[in-house]
Amino acid sequence: MKNLILQIFIIFFLYSCTHTSKNDSASNEEPYAVEEDIPAQLSPQKEETVHVVEIRQMQFVPDTIKVHKGDRILWVNKDIMNHDVTETSKKTWSSAPLKTGSSWTLVVTEGADYYCSLHQVMKGKIILQSDQNE
């Protein structure tokens, strides 16, 4: 890729030289230094972290979970009855009722309290941790 760009520059330079026909000596030099600075932060790709919250015996386990922005939470219903997962304050997000063995997943963008709208005593909390610079 770098070579290709270099070649294009050289061809372009030679072309312009033959048409302006001045400074023949300069044709050996490369007036356009091709410097490619690839931003370092583009290269490392962060793996997605998945946190599992089990629903069992009318409880979210664990009921409080600390995650980083962009992490995924997977709720798995291991109880014998249906439950759902609903954001508390404005119902910003909500799962459909989950049968036994069903699961639902959410990518976290902000901290939230949530509950089960079918059994409002069931409550959980998502706490957003600040990003670590590793």
Question: How far, CA to CA in Å, does 86 sit from each of 54, 60, 119, 125?
Answer: 15, 12, 11, 11
Task: Report if residue 83 touches Cu ion, rule: CB under 5 A.
Answer: yes
Candidates 3-11, 40-48, 87-95, 114-122; binding stretch for Cu ion (CB under 5 A): 114-122
Task: Report if residue 118 touches Cu ion, rule: CB under 5 A.
Answer: yes
Q: List the structure tokens of 69.
A: 């922005």
Task: Report if residue 108 touches Cu ion, rule: CB under 5 A.
Answer: no
Task: Report if residue 67 touches Cu ion, rule: CB under 5 A.
Answer: no
Residue 27 or 117: the one with the smaller Cβ distance to Cu ion is 117
Task: Report if residue 85 touches Cu ion, rule: CB under 5 A.
Answer: no
C-alpha closest to that of 61 among 128, 122, 111 = 122
CA 128 to chain centre: 15
Task: Report if residue 116 touches Cu ion, rule: CB under 5 A.
Answer: yes
Decide: 31 and 13 in contact? Cβ < 8 Å.
yes
Question: In whole angstroms, how close is the CB of 72 to Cu ion at the nearest point?
Answer: 21
List beta partners, residue 55: 60, 77
Task: Report if residue 119 touches Cu ion, rule: CB under 5 A.
Answer: yes
Q: Which residues bind Cu ion (CB under 5 A)?
A: 83, 116, 118-119, 122
